[in-house]
Amino acid sequence: MTMIERSVSYLYPHGFARLAYTEWESKPGAPVLLCVHGLTRNGRDFDDLARALSNRYRVICPDMPGRGKSEWLSHPQDYGFPTYLAAVSTLIARLDVETVDWVGTSMGGLIGMLMAAQPGQPIGRLVINDVGPLIAREGLERIASYVGLDPKFADLPALEAYLRQVAASFGPLTAAQWRHLATHSARKHREGGLGLAYDPAIATPFREQPAADQDLWPVWDKITAPTLVIRGALSDLLRPRDAVAMTERGPRAKLIEFAGIGHAPALMADDQIAAIRDFLAA
């Protein structure tokens, strides 16, 4: 299927900004699957998943504000869930559909949870990848240790080596998959060399959060959409007891764990893609 790069403008507290996204075309009238990435990532993380599901879905993968090819925001304090929800709502309106299915990794899962908890929300089926309504302090501290540091790299192999280190918990990826992630994680510096493809200022509101567990159980309890929770068995962000609790309250989610993986499964492996395909088709 053909992948097309598009963009749409959305309104946030300090003006309009451009949201970039990729659209994987499918057969006419195909349902829409929206795939939303994690804190420092971008929509190209989902290329393998989108390619596998585009025979059934019109797959849409946005670069959230300040990431990938999307515009950086003028005020760092605007990097937060109200802006992200506004951006995604505008995107859904652009797609001219009433409902979407949702796959969200980490931050993308939280955005999906917040949207699915709203009255009249548009999500049909919800896949949450390695995050939940109780966000563990340990995982937040680990992410805070590297997000927003803005390292510089001489070339793509150096950036890939860094990514293999900080994202080792994604699971066992092939050399081609690591190179794919590195290629789409790079931005060119005017003075030469490479940086990471996100605005370092996204860390500003993230670091202003207290160093404590974040409790979103009241949000979870409002969700009624059929939900799948994917967990890396070694995850430090979604703890085992919290994942089990997600199957017992709110939407009473289905839970699947993948051994030997931490935060967060990359959704590139065949078994991870198959789990999502089977749930969406149920």
Checking phi first, is residue 64 left (phi over 0); if not, alpha (psi -120 to 50) or beta? beta
For β-strands 227-232 and 123-129, DSSP reports them as: parallel
List the one residue out of 53, 150, 64 whose CA is nearest residue 105: 64
Bridge partners of 59?
Answer: 24, 33
Whether the predicted pLDDT of 165 surpasses 90: yes
pLDDT of residue 205: 81
Q: What is the mean pLDDT of residues 2-17?
A: 97
Q: Answer whether 0.85 is exceeded by the pTM.
A: yes
pLDDT tens profile 211-250: 778 899 999 999 999 999 999 999 999 999 999 999 999 9
The residues, ordered by sequence, that sit 6+ positions from 217 with a Cβ below 8 Å of its Cβ are: 133, 134, 249, 250
Give residue 270's pLDDT.
Answer: 97
Q: How far is CA 110 from the centre of its chain?
A: 9
Mean pLDDT for 83-109 is: 97
The radius of gyration computed from the CA coordinates of the chain, to the nearest angstrom, equals 18
Q: Give CA angle at 48 (277, 170), nearest 5°.
A: 95
Q: What's the CATH architecture for 3-281?
A: 3-Layer(aba) Sandwich (3.40)
Answer yes or no: is pLDDT of 206 > 90. no
Please name the helix (run of DSSP H) or strand (run of DSSP E) that holds residue 50, with its range, or none. helix 47-53
* pLDDT, tens only, 111-133: 999 999 999 999 999 999 999 99
State the pLDDT at residue 227: 98
Identify the pLDDT of residue 207.
Answer: 75
Mean pLDDT for the stretch of residues 5-13: 97
Q: Quick one: what percent of the chain has pLDDT higher than 70? A: 99
Q: CA-to-CA distance for 269 and 260, rounded, in angstroms? A: 13
Work out the pLDDT band at 139, boundaries 50, 70, 90: confident
| Residue carrying structure tokens 């949000």 | 219
Q: What is the mean pLDDT of residues 152-170?
A: 96
Domain boundaries, the chain: 3-281
Per the CB < 8 A criterion, the answer to whether 260 and 234 are in contact is yes
Q: pLDDT-based confidence at 92, cuts 50/70/90? A: very high
Residue 213: the pLDDT is: 82
List CB contacts of 218: < 8 A, sequence separation 6 or more.
none
Confidence of residue 187 (pLDDT cuts 50, 70, 90): very high
